[in-house]
Structure 1
Amino acid sequence: MDFEKENSAGYLVNHMARLFAKELQRHIVPLGIVVGQFPILLELWVKDGVSQKDLLAKIDVEQATLANTLNRMERDGLIKRTKNPADARAQLIWLTDKSSALRDNAYDSAQTVNAEALQVLSVSEQAQFMDYMRKVIANMRSG
């Protein structure tokens, strides 16, 4: 069986994701956040005060990875946790004023990275590319 990484969707997507992450990291480090924290912040900027279980369902990482990242974020003053009044065993995760204030600059950083990366595609190709990625993600999440 021949395997050519240049014709492997998984390899290419992973390689592209690493390049996106590297470039995003360069832009957001001055804000005091790192790439691993970014998906969590994106979710909390949309809806604050969610459980770890809710976050886990949205960002598709391992539970231990999320727990470690949340511990670091709490240590760095980016989130705070409170008891969940509906479930004494769970905690709710909240943004701090510090992380709330980073939102606009972080969004700008992500938009800059996206625009630079996708500039080689026409507007219609960019739309198709985004549609294709959403379809593949939905397919993989349902399987």
Structure 2
Amino acid sequence: MESKHNRLIGYLVYDAQRCITKSLETTLKPYDITPGQWNLINQLDQAGELSQKDLALLTHKEQATITRYLDTLERKGLIVRNKHKTDRRAHVVCTTEKAHELIRTVLPLTVDTANRLIEGIDQHDIDTFVNVLAELKKNAEIISGD
């Protein structure tokens, strides 16, 4: 018997997000990169050189989480940290050529995964869903004070 909790919108969104993440993990696994790492190098590649603090703000992640991601990505040769030009205490992060190659290879695969996720769903329904998610997020931010 299914509990009422399993029909609550928060649970349904969480459960869908978990499954979507798993599909992306499957796509990325042959390239030894996680969805979180993928998001970070994608965001960084699009934004250009950023401080760790700005990267945390852009990706909505805690700075400690960003540091762990960056440590891993640096070991893999996908990012480099350089001294900030004007603030000697700060570093800026940028992607490497190896990251650019990875992005060129993997981006079409992630786009294909995203397209497969919406197969059989009418565009009107997708548009409605996106709008509803935006409203849910806005309401949640009001509740949480963010």
Structure-1-length-normalised TM-score: 0.86
- Separation (CA, whole Å) in 1 of partners of 2:107 and 2:138: 23
Counterparts of residues 78-93 of structure 1 (less than 5 Å): 78-93=78-93
Contact 1:20–1:113 (Cα < 8 Å) also in 2: no
Aligned to 1:81, the other structure's residue is in SS state strand
Q: Report the equivalent of 2:94.
A: 94
Deviations 1:72-131 (A, max 9, x none): 100111100001112211111110101111223332222222222222320111122223
Bigger shift: residues 32-41 or 132-141: 132-141
- Separation (CA, whole Å) in 2 of partners of 1:48 and 1:90: 16
Q: Report the equivalent of 1:11.
A: 11
Contact 2:50–2:92 (Cα < 8 Å) also in 1: yes
Contact 1:24–1:109 (Cα < 8 Å) also in 2: no
The 1:61/1:89 distance shift into structure 2, 3 A limit, reads same
Specify the structure having the higher radius of gyration (Cα).
Answer: 2
Q: Report the equivalent of 1:58.
A: 58
Gaps of 5+ in 1: none
Structure-2-length-normalised TM-score: 0.84
Identity %: 26
Q: Report the equivalent of 2:104.
A: 104
Counterparts of residues 1-143 of structure 1 (less than 5 Å): 4-140=4-140, 143=146
- Separation (CA, whole Å) in 2 of partners of 1:52 and 1:60: 12
CA RMSD of aligned residues (A): 1.9
The alpha-carbon deviation at position 45 of structure 1 amounts to: 2.1
